[in-house]
Amino acid sequence: MPKIKTCRAMAKRFRATRTNKILRRKAGKSHLLEKKAINRKRNLRQRTSVDPRDIKNFINKVPYIF
C-alpha cells in the first residue's frame, strides 16, 4: 500500500501535543487590530485545540501527525 500524501498547507498550520490533541491558531489576528482591545489581542495570541468533531477530517489530510 503506498504512503498517503500529507496536505502541506495543513501541516504548517497545525501541531500535535503529546496527549494527541491538535492545536491551531485563533482567528482574527491578521488585520484590523487598532480597534480591538488589548486584552482581546492578548487572548488571540494563544493557541487553542481543534474540536474533536473535526479531528477525523483532519487526520485524512495530515495522516502522520501523531
Q: The domain spanning residue 14 has which CATH number?
A: 4.10.410.60
Set of cell numbers at residue 29: 489576528
Residue 18 lies in a domain: yes
Residue 50 lies in a domain: yes
Residue 46 lies in a domain: yes
The H or E element that residue 30 is part of is none
Domain limits for position 55: 8-61
The H or E element that residue 11 is part of is helix 8-13
Tally of structural domains, the chain: 1
Residue 1 lies in a domain: no
State if pTM tops 0.75: yes
Tell me, what amino acid is at 4? I
How confident is the model over 1-41, as pLDDT tens digits? 898 999 999 999 999 999 989 999 999 999 999 999 999 99
The pLDDT confidence band at residue 56, using thresholds 50, 70 and 90, is: confident
On whether the CB atoms of residues 24 and 32 are closer than 8 A, the answer is: no
Residue 3 lies in a domain: no
pLDDT at residue 53 tops 90: yes
Residue 2 lies in a domain: no
